[in-house]
A and B are shown apart, each in its own frame.
Chain A
Amino acid sequence: MPLYHDDDQAMLAESANQFMAEEGAIAKQLRHWRDRDCKDGFGHGLWEQFGEMGFNGILVDEADGGLGMGHVEAGIVLEEIGRNLTPSPFLTSSVLAATALKHGSDDLRGRYLPGLVEGKSVFAVAVDEGPKHRPETITCKAERSGNGFKLSGQKDFVVQGASADMLVVAARTSGSDSDEQGITLFAVPRDAAGMSHDAVRLVDSSMATHTKFDGVELDGDAVIGEVDNGRAILNAMLDAGRVGSAAEGVGVARGAMDMTVDYLKQRKQFGTLIGEFQALQHRAAHLYSEVEIARAAVIKAQQLLDAGSERASLMASVAKAKVAKTAGLAVREGVQMHGGIGMTDEYDIGLYMKRDRALQEFLGDAYYHAGRVAELSGY
């Protein structure tokens, strides 16, 4: 398969681009909700519009009311989200949770997917325990109790946890903390007794929670997939989320780069446009090269995921790490090349820097993923 968008994908890209530039624009969404101290950090109206556009069903099978498309298509939407810094539950709900639910029972899929596709339900994912992404170790416990389970422990960096109608929780049902096996995924409804959220606003104005499970009683049918065999689903969900977050990161990088290159063509100092200074030209050209390469890595990873290739995990980590480095460069160069105005809240470039920082950390940073590349390559 060639590494560029086919005609259908190009059409989707065009409509996502238009929609996000209009409806998802920074002034209309990010700043709007931020300046009102919104407890969700995004607008439910926009989320329903996502549903109307069909975005939320991209990774949902046709039999479940979705579009049955792949990660390339989901990535197209995410890149536009990144470019416009559009706050939404798309990544956690329509990519991560949707991927996990593919492995869920008819009952679970019937309960949750219609609301997702319509843009009425919001899902969150509770994997991390502690400030860094270390999914190899899971201590949150689900013990058998009656016909179901009792869940205890704490999860951190649960993005949009307090807004979620359902949380996908990775818990340990057997074995010790760092065992590969013995993991089970649960779909935990928002009103589950014993679940409490400590909601925190993050640097990019998005919301996340530290979520406590204090003997939360769950029915057996809350299990996604099989008991004790959840690792494969967890990995599939995480890889989907990593590639998705890399696609959003490419959008952030491109947004920041475009803004910066435009600024180089407007701002005058010493009687010339600053874009005439070779010191800045070379840095901009280097950034361009990195963004192009990062984007290629992301498309490759999306295609490998869609093809179910055994190299998909390796390339997912390559993409996540490469984008983290590249988007980081884009926002740092962006702020620097804007000079003083780049430091002001009124100007948008700083918002890119903040969003990038949160995305870097989400599902593993560049260091984590470079380490995973080494491990998967056998060194």
Chain B
Amino acid sequence: MSELEKFRQETRNWLEANCPPEMREPVRDEDDVYWGGRKASFKNDTQKAWFEACVEKGYTVPAWPKEYGGAGLNPAEAKILREEMSAIGARPPLSSFGIWMLGPALLHFGTEGQKQRFLNEIARGEIRWCQGYSEPGSGSDLVSLQTFGEDKGDHWTVNGQKVWTSYADKADWIFCLVRTDKNDKYRGITFMLFDMETAGVSTKPILLISGNSPFCETFFDDVDVPKSYGEDVPAYVGEINRGWDVAKYLLGHEREMISGADGGDRTSAIGAALKRQAGELDPVLRAELAMFDVDALAYSAMGEKFLDEIKVGKSHPAQPNMMKYAGTELNKRRHELMMSAGGSRALEWDSEETGGGKTSRNWLRTKANSIEGGTSEVMLNVISKRILELPGG
């Protein structure tokens, strides 16, 4: 048996022994997902047991090095773990912006001290992070951001406002883009890390069209952020005034994640499932579903190809923008079709039969897919400039 086959067998055995049956059922509600953090509580004991088993094994962040709380898996092993987990429908033990965004930035730019502290906290689900980039005047044109940190020697005093900060009210810490030099647009931003309980930080939830409130306005009112949290643990990632480099690096990760290229069933065909649900399908709707399934199955091949190419460095560095664009537009179409197949039942907003209006709320939520993390239009701009090398500023 090859090393990898052995690993697959061990993984299968470990999952069999450690992943409780309830944790193999599809995620139904927001509280089926465990986000960790100081304010978090488990929905039940099985969720807790599954989470703790994964923490011990390093499987909350399987590809991170062991000394930072991961399992040190190489890409081939990580792929096997993903495949085996998805084969039994295992839920992710922990979801967080720390895993998806801050972690990769720290692995790339962080000091040893930062990695030791922050990565371990993320892997063990102790600290929940939020992302403070967007501002009322700076969305797509993020680099124009105004939130300002005044240099006070050993600390900055930060003033300004962020907006659309996902889960800011539930998060413990924020990674935040702050202007530290007003004279240099690109080289005047620092990527800061600070506690949301610091005096002067406040949040105000915003209600989405889906009726949920997963994001906030975040205000900074004379917030003092120390420049260091101890030896080799600076309060910023990368260098002072060079936070834009970190942000750009991280956006790549975010786009990959949102594009669904990391797996998940967003890219699978839906026609058969919707027919079971809707019974007889209107012939024109059936045709639309078939056309959708062609696109979804083709996109899923693209996702596989994209991951294969990334592994060996064959992918164009701007390709995640294409994946994000195509994947999110596809997902919006998927939910339009789910609404159509669902008929009047899908309109129900809070009935028990619909799990509290799941179909319609999810449909509305997907409209954000092509806005968050860079809009479709911005993705198309990047593709035309960086891949097709079309002219213009």
Task: Name A residues whose Cβ lies closer than 8 Å to a Cβ of B.
Answer: 2-4, 261, 264-265, 272-273, 275-276, 278, 281-282, 284-286, 288-290, 292-294, 296-297, 299-300, 314-315, 317-319, 321-322, 325, 366-367, 369-371, 373-374, 377-379
Contacts and interface: CB of A to CB of B under 8 A. Distances in A.
Contact of B298 (A276, A294, A367, A379): A294
B308 A4 contact: yes
Contact of B272 (A322, A366, A377): A377
Nearest to B274: A379
Given A3-B308, A264-B390, A286 B294 contact: no
Interface in B267-301: 269, 271-272, 274-275, 281, 286-287, 289-291, 293-295, 297-299, 301
Q: Which 7 A-B pairs have the closest CB atoms?
A: A276-B392, A297-B298, A3-B305, A285-B383, A300-B301, A281-B384, A296-B302
Given A281-B380, A285-B380, A293-B302, A379 B291 contact: no
B49 interface: no
Contacts of B311: 2
A192 B291 CA distance: 43
B271 A377 contact: yes
B390 A275 contact: yes
B297 A288 contact: no
Contacts of A290: 326
A285 B294 contact: no
Interface in B360-393: 377, 379-381, 383-385, 387-392
A296 B272 CA distance: 23
18 contacts: A3-B308, A261-B390, A272-B391, A273-B391, A276-B390, A281-B380, A289-B322, A293-B295, A293-B301, A294-B298, A296-B305, A297-B297, A369-B294, A370-B287, A370-B294, A373-B269, A374-B293, A379-B272
A278 B325 CA distance: 16
B302 A377 contact: no
Nearest to B275: A379
Nearest to A319: B298
B314 interface: yes
B281 A379 contact: yes
A297 B294 CA distance: 9
B298 A296 contact: yes
Range of interface residues on chain B?
35 or more
Contacts of B262: none
A317 B326 CA distance: 20
B390 A322 contact: no
Contacts of A261: 388, 390
A3 B304 contact: yes
Contacts of A321: 291, 294
Nearest to B297: A318
Interface string B109-121: 0000000000000
B301 A289 contact: no
Given A282-B380, A285-B387, A300-B301, 9 more contacts: A3-B309, A265-B391, A275-B390, A284-B390, A292-B302, A296-B305, A322-B295, A370-B291, A371-B290
A285 B293 contact: no
A78 to B, nearest CB: 18
B388 A4 contact: no
Nearest to A317: B294
Nearest to B385: A281
Contacts of B281: 379
Contact of A300 (B304, B306, B379): B304
B290 A285 contact: no
Nearest to B326: A289
A261 B390 CA distance: 8
Contacts of A288: 322, 383, 387-388
B305 A275 contact: no
A379 B297 contact: no
A2 B308 contact: yes
A276 B308 contact: no
A325 B322 CA distance: 18
Nearest to A377: B272
Contacts of A3: 301, 304-305, 308-309
Nearest to B301: A300
Given A264-B390, A281-B390, A373-B294, A4 B289 contact: no
B392 A374 contact: no
B286 A282 contact: no
B384 A293 contact: no
Contacts of A317: 294
Given A261-B388, A370-B290, A289 B325 contact: yes
A274 B307 CA distance: 34
Contact of B305 (A265, A289, A299): A299
A276 B388 CA distance: 12
User: For B301, B306, B308, which residue has the most chain A Cβ atoms within 10 angstroms?
Assistant: B301
A314 B299 contact: no
B95 to A, nearest CB: 27
Contacts of B290: 370-371, 373-374
A166 B271 CA distance: 41
Contacts of B391: 265, 272-273, 275-276
Nearest to A281: B384
Contacts of B299: 293
Contacts of B319: 292
B301 A296 contact: yes
A271 to B, nearest CB: 13
Given A281-B381, A282-B377, A293-B326, A322 B294 contact: yes
A234 B195 CA distance: 67
B304 A296 contact: yes
Contacts of A315: 297, 301
Nearest to B393: A276
